[in-house]
Amino acid sequence: MFDTALSFNDLLFLLKGAGVTLSVTAFAVVGGTVLGLLFGVLRSHVSPWAVLPLTFVLDVFRSVPLLIQLILANASQAIAGLQFSPFVTSCIVLALYTSAYCTEIVRGAIEAVPPVTRRAARSLGLTWGQDMTQIVFPMALRVGLPSWIGLTLGVMKDSALVLWLGIIELLRASQILVTRLQEPMFILLIAGAIYFALSFPIARLGGRLEKRWQEND
């Protein structure tokens, strides 16, 4: 019969790790989405040359491994003497990382709104702000939301990397238990199941939304 040394408290320890994973993800996604909306609107409205530096920096965030970004950010804050905790550093890095992808989603979604629709809105007397909030936003949301859900799940999975800075999130918690209990497969399977349970339903929802909204086009 299957026998394990895993106790209820260990399970709580894992769930606490999952809580850390979720809170890092939440901070990163909220920060990243706000920045991404801002940058995305900038990129789709200002001439490409004017935002070239921004485009380049965001491209760097997408072309350098997240692990290296985390290590660099941690070293930079130490050099600058900011004394950020690893948690704060991780949240900032992940937020910037998220914003780089979110910018592309927002830009793509805004550019998917036909220019004639926007011109029609403006010629009806709507201001730029009204056009953005009442015409562009509802239409772009349908294009962008499925990808945004995918991005959020991606960030949740990538947040496992913050263990390198010494934060005890879900994966690190499972590793600590593995070291103590010497049952790697079983404990990692539990950690994987928690990740799966968090990610799979939302991924399904995203897929369903995408399919439903495409039918109306």
Partner 1 sequence: MFEYTFQWRQAFRALPQMLDGALVTMQIAVLSMVIGVTIAVLLAVARNAHSPWLRWPATAWVEVARNTPALFQIYMAHFGLGSFGIYLSPYVALLAGITFNNAGYLCETFRGALRAIPATQVRAGRSLGMGQVMAFRLIVLPQMFRIAFLPTTNQMVWAILMTSLGVTVGMSTDLTGVTQDLNARTFRTFELFALAGALYYCIAKAVMFAARLAAWRLFRY
Residues that bind partner 1 (CB under 8 A): 60, 63-69, 71-72, 75-76, 79-81, 153, 157-158, 160-161, 163-164, 171, 175, 178, 183-186, 188-189, 191-192, 195-196, 199-200, 203
Backbone angles phi, psi at 211, to 5 degrees: -65, -45
Question: What H or E segment, with its residue span, contains residue 168?
Answer: none
Residue 114: left if φ>0, alpha if ψ -120 to 50, beta else—which one? Answer: beta
Sign of CA dihedral 117, 118, 123, 126: positive
By the 10 Å C-beta count (0-12 exposed, 13-18 middle, 19+ buried), 97 is classed as buried
Q: End-to-end distance of the chain based on CA atoms, in angstroms?
A: 56
Q: Which is nearer to partner 1, 81 or 129 (CB)?
A: 81
By the 10 Å C-beta count (0-12 exposed, 13-18 middle, 19+ buried), 125 is classed as exposed
Tell me how far, at minimum, the Cβ of 113 lies from partner 1, in Å: 23
Residues sharing a CB contact under 8 Å with residue 134, sequence separation 6 or more, in sequence order: 121, 126
Tell me how far, at minimum, the Cβ of 21 lies from partner 1, in Å: 9
Tell me how far, at minimum, the Cβ of 198 lies from partner 1, in Å: 8
Tell me how far, at minimum, the Cβ of 61 lies from partner 1, in Å: 10
Tell me how far, at minimum, the Cβ of 120 lies from partner 1, in Å: 32
Residues sharing a CB contact under 8 Å with residue 155, sequence separation 6 or more, in sequence order: 25, 28, 29, 32, 94, 97, 98
Q: Which is nearer to partner 1, 58 or 136 (CB)?
A: 58
Tell me how far, at minimum, the Cβ of 187 lies from partner 1, in Å: 9
Q: Which is nearer to partner 1, 119 or 204 (CB)?
A: 204
Q: Which is nearer to partner 1, 168 or 178 (CB)?
A: 178
Q: Give strand ranges (E) for the chain.
A: none
Q: Which is nearer to partner 1, 21 or 44 (CB)?
A: 21
Q: Which is nearer to partner 1, 55 or 199 (CB)?
A: 199
